[in-house]
Amino acid sequence: MKVAVINFSGNVGKTTIARHLLLPRMPGAELVSIESSNAGSERGPTLRGRQFAELQEYLQTINSAVVDIGASNIEDLLDLMQQYSGSHNDFDFFIVPTVPAVKQQQDTIATLVDLAQLGVIPSRLKILFNMVQRGTTVEQAFYLLLAFLAEQPIATSDTACRLRENEIYARLRRTKLSMSELAADQTDYKALIAKAPDSPTKIDLAQQLATQRLALGVLPELDSCFAALHLGAQSSPPRRATKQAS
């Protein structure tokens, strides 16, 4: 299975979705990053939007991929996708993360329209409602986008496919560990804190404990969100810890 994560807008969580939602739940999938920088991905190759010829050729050689498309590269990529007739069919699904800000909802609508015009059918074009504030429903936060889809159902939207705001994603950017690795950590941080020789060490361990707890808490939400995407039987939830740490 090959999935593209795409939105004209930045700051909607595309990389978070690719790395922490999709990749751990698609066994054997390779991460391909489409971005402007030359920095390579730790999990797969990095290309630029104008290298679409190389991308489509590479996709023919692998069975499963998550393609994370940076906002600054989307116009080049979609323009070339149009030139290579039928190349959108190399992707089984296009996942479009969005956030409540009005500009991002408008950019999301523009993204959906362009993909639909390329020939992507609604069942393969999926909305993911991201960064929903606690105490707010998807319907309240995304009224603009949902009103558009009610009039023009060019994409699939399931309000169960949503992620709440969570500090864990900022913490993950400061560590090389994945969400699953953090959740599977069996370290008894409370015991280590009790034995720590000084306050700085205790604080560092307490921060690691907090990150572990956040990871354990968010995994069920990620599983539910992924299930609501309905990507098919090839995908599966990541392996879990056998027991929770203290």
- How far is 67 from 53, CA to CA, in rounded Å? 14
Count of domains observed in the chain? 1
- Picking from 165, 232, 182, the residue whose alpha carbon sits closest to that of residue 13 is 165
For the chain, the first-to-last Cα distance in angstroms comes to: 37
- Backbone phi, psi, residue 31, to 5°: -90, 125
Q: How many CA atoms lie within 13 A of 30 on its CB side?
A: 13
**Under the phi-then-psi rule, with left for phi > 0, alpha for psi from -120 to 50, and beta for the rest, what region is 169?**
alpha
Residue range 196-223: mean pLDDT, rounded: 93
Tell me whether residue 245 is in a domain.
no
Question: If you count them, how many residues does the chain have?
Answer: 246
- How far is 244 from 115, CA to CA, in rounded Å? 43
Tell me whether residue 230 is in a domain.
no
Residue 70, SS3?
coil
Residue range 184-195: mean pLDDT, rounded: 93
Tell me whether residue 72 is in a domain.
yes
Tell me whether residue 201 is in a domain.
no
Residue-wise pLDDT tens digits, 20-35: 999 999 999 999 999 8
- How far is 22 from 128, CA to CA, in rounded Å? 12
Domain span at residue 146 reads: 2-166
Residue-wise pLDDT tens digits, 157-176: 999 999 999 999 888 888 77
- Residues 180 and 230: beta-carbon distance below 8 Å: no
pTM: 0.87
Tell me whether residue 152 is in a domain.
yes
Residue 211, SS3?
helix
> What is the band of 136 on the pLDDT scale with cuts at 50, 70, 90?
very high
Question: pLDDT > 70: what percent of the chain?
Answer: 91
